[in-house]
């Protein structure tokens, strides 16, 4: 048997299904452009084998363990490290069994589809994961992980990845990227400049980070001019390590464009640590505009991931730290928030700002109208909770009528689960094919155009948006 | 002819339709679990006949009379009592005719589907309700209401109800429930603890209600300790009358978890009647957390129905009172609002808090991410305006990908229209079958799993969530 | 070949498609009721030929040029006049070629569907617009525009328009309407009273406008009584020029119903120009209630278009002025905002207030519950960005279950692009037919009723709502 339906995600009506299949098949073998994600660059630098099935599929994937937690499994039971170093489950087979016993919880979720896809298409598993099959599947995966064909670089090539961007902080020494570049391996793994830790006054260790930034760049990061110069220097270093883009994870989409004297006064408060909540927000907002202006100079694409309420559970954060599945979407305003930045640079045709949201109500009301007017704006694909069949469907249905296809930026997998990359791009290509087939069969798009658009969505738009 | 299409609510595409029908048929004969609603417990205690067709279908159902009012029929024309006791239409046949003359207004609404289902499946009516058929259908219903087979207990049994929960205020003496329990009848009619009138400082008569609560329990409800003890006492009495759950109808989802000294100071202001709007909100929020903590002790499931703007028309409220169809959904924030309660008890696996909303934008953005992480949280079914085919479809499409099926609580009919209970559960079972058939035919769920999930949604999850 | 699919917008499933086609065909030849829009009354008064294809299709249509701008074409390249009179492209053929070269940007948008419909059904074009065909199609259109059959009145008759309302400011002399009325031509072109410029204290030139209003009416518009009398006088003049409705474009849906003394004090501040932002909002809100009360007297239908953030780009506004595609939807609250007005007049069965929104989240949460209760409220069709297949689908799916069909007001094309009128009504009729076919085939509406509703949505409801 197969774990995945060969016709999955196509519409049920036969004429639509046939067209969706044809559209999908026309893009199924295109290389993967993965311009934004959170893979570990060390994998490709060292090319060591992945440790075990649990470490590959469960422990790093907050999509997976949050669901188990929601039904009463605890994070230590799943081997998630405690911040105090206290004991957690250490046997990967036990963790795997707990996952398998609860696999029914994922029914109807994209996690199940990605998992089944990875099991079948990466590891050749043909049995359904569950309590009875857990051990055999564990052994089957483990045996393959021990072979060279399942090392990171081999999988990268097998996955047909043309370019993969990771995301590093401004203070990262990019040593893994350098090691990969120097290794002679031809896989294109590039970095992305993510300066949150030196831009957000509320970030843990912000003051120390500024000092470190000064040391790395030789700039006086306690003057506004030196601070901006340090950013320019780090951006240049990141570009030397392949970066074509920056990324900004802000709690809101607020931007600012203050006069120089105002900024300098604000920066002095930030440096002094005497800022209010509002001033921190203003500073982050000002820095988005500064980054956009630097992008005008150095050509880097700018990504804004706005509106996530991080670490919602104080208890989970205290005991286990960040990225433990307790990040919740917040309401996000873009119309007022982006106005200062857009007044400064929104009409620039050579600037590319890609917007991401976790608030789907903004798709049709705010994002598509903005992207359908301002030359600098482009819409990123559905993010995080919405990187799924229904999420992609809602996105396309909400934005296409107002901003078309050519104000969108193709697909990002945005994952830290390496084996899910082909699965996620597959879902995206199938979901878009289903959407396009619906347009054609209802007379809203010509069939020949649909095949062109299909290529654009699966491949071309991402390359263009990220300058790859 | 039949008033209802045997294949109603199934998808149109034949393969999906066949599977939806099979899924529905596998659950169609399961008993009804009705764990939340507003039936009158007196019906089952006295088992008197229902007075007349208008009193059964029109006068108690604000879904029905609000639509007639929106097109210019007045509430007195429909026999709705005035608060000043002034004259209203008293002839049920005249009221019925007015309803029948305007029945076209309900085209495309769930009210029409429930009504047609009740007419056909409860009363055997085969003609379409309208001006020409109004009298004959009235006579047909009236004749049957006069028979023993149409008394409340007989209908309860015929409807195949396994358990039905009504909702009573904290000060209710539960006499009707006691009478039913003592009667020897085996039908399971239980109560639910709804303490709004003694929890919400803005409730009419709040001060008097506290006095009454003290008298009922022998506690000093003007001290914080005594007040909490009184709640514990009433919860115990409700449990003695079958209650497995509490219910909380708050204007927002705001919660609080103040230190004891702060609570006592706040309570003193509440008692003194010197509180601000914000303090009233804080007090309601604190009481949600207190109720959750009591649920941890006594095992009662906690329901939160948040975000309804009650009595929107001051004129209608003044002339006719509460529950007259002028309650309008409000925007509701859950992410920030629930944080204090969740920090206190959100990680407790043995606690069940069921969340209801009238703000569908929160499904995917807030509720599913929260329920897909916190063990204590479960999502209630679509509430009120959204208890319908489209409402259920939007709910499943929005939440399943993030929190799956097993963080949802099955179906509630939440009705005060007794004859609509089978109709509403039928709509729910059919709508879920349609959704599941869509998942299977698009490769998102295995067919065998769909049949399991179907049983869970129609029966098991509600039993589990309410401890029935 | 044809540019448009004869079965466009019908569902794909054959049984649904056949029924949708039958429903559409039953209304396809009904006259067009166009009760709200922005056609230029001068067209019908003078009946001159349209200047050229670019002036017909590109320059006046912000739906079209905004999309080109979003991809880097500039407004001057498209012949959009600068406010400083600076040079812009003056050759309509060059503008047309730029449009044709970028026509792929509109794939999947309603603009493409309207355009293809106009090209094929108005001008007999059978080639797809693009760089290769641009000149030939330009010539084909131009040749026809030179004939009498393509003058405004001839097209009006050919489009089968029964009534068309334009929109004029309170200070308009209505000379074009008078000229049309006096011409002996029988086409029904009427005006609509849009008093924003004399109601909104933030409107450019408000103080001067009040003076002009006084001069036109002979009333002292600097007293509250005289100001209201001036409105009454202008409404009467508009009614003499055919108006059956007023229209109010407000930044929010805020209403107020202040005591007379309070209003007079507020009005004094407004007149003195010493008002705050909040006071301006209150005054606009008060005027909505005043207008509703006048509608009770003179029977005019009242339209409220609330929640558009106008002129989002300061740069575009400064260089090119209003209506240049940079208007963005804002979040809009109706529940609290409308309460003062509804408390005053909401229960009046003879008043018709039609609500429009650009915030789709309010459809199911706010608008349908309000319109399904208050006799005075009716819902307008999807507005602007949402006047499309998906927009209409979302609207019907969100509101019908709560307020049915008979609390909605049929269709408005709301366009300044004359040739798109038949295309837009065609989209509306097809989209509603598709929706109705879906209801019938899923057992939610009887087929005979669907044919009745179809007539109502395509024709009757608009006539009734606007008293035409």
Asked whether the beta carbons of A4 and A117 are under 8 A apart, the reply is yes
> In Å, how far are A51, A153, A159, C356 from A46, measured between CA atoms?
13, 9, 19, 60
Rounded to whole angstroms, how far apart are CA atoms C31 and B48? 57
In a domain, residue B4? The reply is no
- Residue A151 CB: number of other CB atoms within 10 A? 18
CA C290, CA B241: separation in Å to the nearest integer? 55
CA distance C453 to C449: 6
The torsion angle over the Cα atoms of residues B389, B393, B395 and B401, rounded to 10 degrees, is 160
Domain annotation covers residue A35: yes
Kindly give, in sequence order, each residue whose CB lies less than 8 Å from that of residue C449, ignoring residues fewer than 6 positions away: B104, B107
Same domain, B376 and B439: yes
**Residues C79 and C167 reside in one and the same domain:** no
CA distance B451 to C393: 31
Q: Are residues A425 and A342 in the same domain?
A: yes
The CA distance from A375 to A407, in Å, is 9
Q: Do C108 and A401 touch (CB under 8 A)?
A: yes
Name chain B contacts of C355, Cβ cutoff 8 Å.
none
Low-confidence ranges of chain C (pLDDT < 50): none
A353 & A409 share domain:
yes
- How far is C-alpha A100 from the geometric centre of its chain's CA atoms? 26
pLDDT value at position C404?
98
In sequence order, the 6+-apart residues with CB closer than 8 A to the CB of B208 are none
Give the CATH number of the domain where residue A297 resides.
Answer: 3.20.20.140
Tell me: do B118 and B179 sit in the same domain. Answer: no
- Asked if C327 and C377 touch (Cβ cutoff 8 Å), the reply is no
Question: What pLDDT, in 10s, does the model give residues B348-377?
Answer: 999 999 999 999 999 999 999 999 999 999
In a domain, C9, yes or no: no
Kindly state the average pLDDT of the residues B375-400: 98
Pick from C346, C383, C384: nearest CA to C363 = C383
Cβ pair B298, B237 in contact under 8 A: no
Q: Are A23 and A433 in contact (CB under 8 A)?
A: yes
Cβ atoms within 10 Å, residue A235: 21
Phi-psi region of A200 (alpha: psi -120 to 50; beta: other; left: phi over 0): beta
Residues A97 and A242 in one domain: no
Q: Is residue C174 within 8 Å of C241, Cβ to Cβ?
A: yes
Longest pairwise C-alpha distance within chain A: 68
pLDDT computed for residue A58 by the predictor? 96
Q: Which domain holds residue B59?
A: 51-150
Per-residue pLDDT of chain A (468 residues; tens, 9 = 90+): 789 999 999 999 999 999 999 999 999 999 999 999 999 999 999 999 999 999 999 999 999 999 999 999 999 999 999 999 999 999 999 999 999 999 999 999 999 999 999 999 999 999 999 999 999 999 999 999 999 999 999 999 999 999 999 999 999 999 999 999 999 999 999 999 999 999 999 999 999 999 999 999 999 999 999 999 999 999 999 999 999 999 999 999 999 999 999 999 999 999 999 999 999 999 999 999 999 999 999 999 999 999 999 999 999 999 999 999 999 999 999 999 999 999 999 999 999 999 999 999 999 999 999 999 999 999 999 999 999 999 999 999 999 999 999 999 999 999 999 999 999 999 999 999 999 999 999 999 999 999 999 999 999 999 999 999
* Closest Cβ opposite residue B107 in set C347, C404, C441: C404
pLDDT of C18: 98
Interface test with chain B among A70, A105, A133, A307, by most B beta carbons within 10 Å: A70
C-alpha closest to that of A343 among C314, C320, C73: C314
pLDDT of residue B138: 98
Residue A1, in any domain of the structure: no
Contact at CB, B366 and A104, closer than 8 angstroms: no
Do B88 and B212 belong to one domain? no
Residue A368 to residue C385, Cβ atoms within 8 A? yes
Q: B261 to each of A138, B193, B224, B266, how far by Cα in Å?
A: 54, 27, 10, 9
What's the domain count of chain A? 2
- Tokens encoding B298: 């006594």
C121, C150, C179 - which closes a domain: C150
How many angstroms separate the CA atoms of B274 and A224, rounded? 51
Nearest chain A residue (CA) to B394: A390
Considering the domain boundaries, does residue C451 fall inside one? yes
| pLDDT value at residue B461 | 98
Q: Which chain B residues contact residue A361 at CB under 8 A?
A: 361, 365
Distances in whole angstroms, Cα of residue C175 to Cα of each of C39, C41, C180, C210: 15, 9, 9, 20
Say whether A397 and C390 touch across the interface (CB within 8 A). yes
Domain assignment of residue B9, yes or no: no
Report the alpha-carbon distance of residue C230 to residue B77 in Å, rounded. 40
Q: Count of residues for chain B?
A: 468
Count of all residues that appear for chain A in the document: 468
Are B210 and B359 in a shared domain?
yes
Look at residue A2 and tell me if it is in a domain: no
CA atoms of A78 and A59, how far apart (whole Å): 7
- Chain C residues within an 8 Å CB radius of A405: 107-108
CA distance C430 to A184: 60
Distance from CA of A72 to the nearest CA of B (A): 5
∠ Cα B233 B238 B241 (to 5°): 135
Nearest to C444 among B67, B315, B389 (CB): B389
Last residue of a domain, one of A91, A120, A147: A147
Closest by Cα among C315, B168, C347, C9 to A339: C315
Q: Which residues of B touch C407 (CB under 8 A)?
A: 70-71
CA-CA distance, A451 to A273, in Å (whole number)?
Answer: 55
Which of these three, C150, C182, C200, is where a domain ends? Answer: C150
C247 secondary structure, DSSP code: E
The sign of the CA dihedral A319, A320, A324, A327 is positive
Could C8 and A444 be called an inter-chain contact, meaning their C-beta atoms sit closer than 8 Å? yes
CATH code assigned at A88: 1.10.2020.10
The size of the A-B interface in CB pairs under 8 A is 121
Question: Residues C192, C164: one domain?
Answer: yes
Shared domain check, C426 and C412:
yes
pLDDT for position A256:
98
Find the CB nearest A314 among B336, B343, B439: B343
Residue of C nearest to A437 (CA): C12
pLDDT in tens, B260-317: 999 999 999 999 999 999 999 999 999 999 999 999 999 999 999 999 999 999 999 9
DSSP string computed for C11-64: -SSHHHHHHHHHHHHHHTTSPEEE-S----HHHHHH-PPP--HHHHHTTT-HHH
Same domain, C33 and C88: no
Q: Which of chain A's residues have a Cβ under 8 Å away from the Cβ of B374? A: 70, 313
Instruction: Give the three-state DSSP class for C248.
Output: strand
**C267 touches C287 (CB < 8 A):** no
Same structural domain for residues B96 and B158? no
Interface contact flag, B375 A7, Cβ < 8 Å = no
Nearest to C216 by CA among C201, C249, C238, C200: C238
**Rounded Cα–Cα distance for residues A322 and A324 (Å):** 6
Q: Which of C365, C370, C436 to mutate to test the interface with B (most CBs of B within 10 A)?
A: C365
Residue A78 located in a structural domain: yes
pLDDT (tens digit per residue) in A170-229: 999 999 999 999 999 999 999 999 999 999 999 999 999 999 999 999 999 999 999 999
Max distance between CA atoms of chain C, in angstroms, equals 68
For CA atoms C76, C79, C80, C86, give the dihedral sign.
Answer: positive
């Amino acid at each position: 048997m197969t774990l995945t339906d060969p016709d999955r995600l196509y519409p049920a009506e036969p004429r639509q299904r046939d067209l969706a299949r044809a559209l999908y098949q026309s893009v199924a073998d295109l290389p993967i452009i993965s311009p934004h994600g959170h893979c570990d660059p060390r994998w490709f630098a060292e090319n060591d084998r992945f440790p075990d099935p649990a470490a590959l599929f469960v422990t790093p994937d907050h999509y997976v363990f949050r669901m188990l937690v929601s039904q009463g499994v605890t994070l230590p039971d799943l081997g998630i490290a405690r911040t105090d170093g206290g004991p957690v489950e250490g046997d990967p087979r036990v963790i795997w069994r707990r996952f398998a016993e609860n696999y029914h919880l994922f029914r109807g979720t994209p996690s199940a589809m990605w998992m089944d896809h990875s099991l079948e298409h990466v590891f050749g598993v043909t049995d359904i994961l569950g309590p009875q099959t857990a051990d055999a599947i564990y052994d089957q995966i483990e045996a393959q992980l021990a072979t060279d064909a399942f090392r990171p670089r081999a999988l990268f090539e097998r996955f047909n990845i043309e370019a993969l961007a990771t995301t590093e902080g401004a203070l990262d020494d990019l040593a893994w990227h350098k090691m990969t570049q120097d290794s002679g391996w031809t896989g294109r793994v590039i970095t992305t400049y993510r300066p949150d830790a030196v831009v957000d006054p509320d970030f843990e260790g912000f003051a120390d980070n500024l000092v470190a930034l000064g040391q790395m760049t030789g700039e006086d990061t306690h003057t506004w001019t030196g601070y901006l110069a340090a950013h320019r220097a780090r951006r240049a270093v990141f570009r030397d390590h392949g970066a074509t883009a920056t990324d900004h994870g802000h709690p809101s989409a607020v931007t600012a464009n203050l006069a120089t004297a105002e900024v300098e006064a604000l920066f002095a408060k930030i440096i002094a640590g005497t800022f209010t909540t509002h001033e921190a927000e203003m500073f982050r907002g000002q820095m988005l505009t500064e980054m956009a202006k630097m992008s005008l100079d150095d050509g880097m694409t700018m990504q804004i991931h706005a509106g996530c309420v991080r670490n919602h559970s104080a208890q989970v954060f205290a005991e286990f730290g960040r990225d433990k599945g307790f990040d919740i979407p917040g309401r996000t305003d873009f119309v007022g928030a982006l106005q200062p930045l857009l007044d400064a640079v929104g009409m620039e045709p050579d600037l590319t700002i890609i917007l991401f949201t976790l608030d789907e109500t903004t798709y049709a009301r705010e994002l598509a109208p903005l992207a359908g007017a301002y030359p600098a704006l482009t819409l990123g694909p559905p993010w995080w909770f919405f990187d799924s069949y229904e999420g992609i469907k809602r996105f396309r249905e909400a934005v296409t009528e107002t901003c078309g296809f050519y104000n969108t930026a193709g697909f990002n997998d945005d994952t830290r689960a390496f084996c899910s990359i082909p699965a996620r791009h597959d879902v995206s290509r199938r979901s878009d094919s289903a959407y396009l087939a619906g347009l054609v069969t209802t007379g809203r798009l010509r069939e020949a155009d649909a095949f062109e658009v299909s290529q654009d969505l699966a491949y071309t738009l991402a390359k263009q948006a990220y300058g790859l």
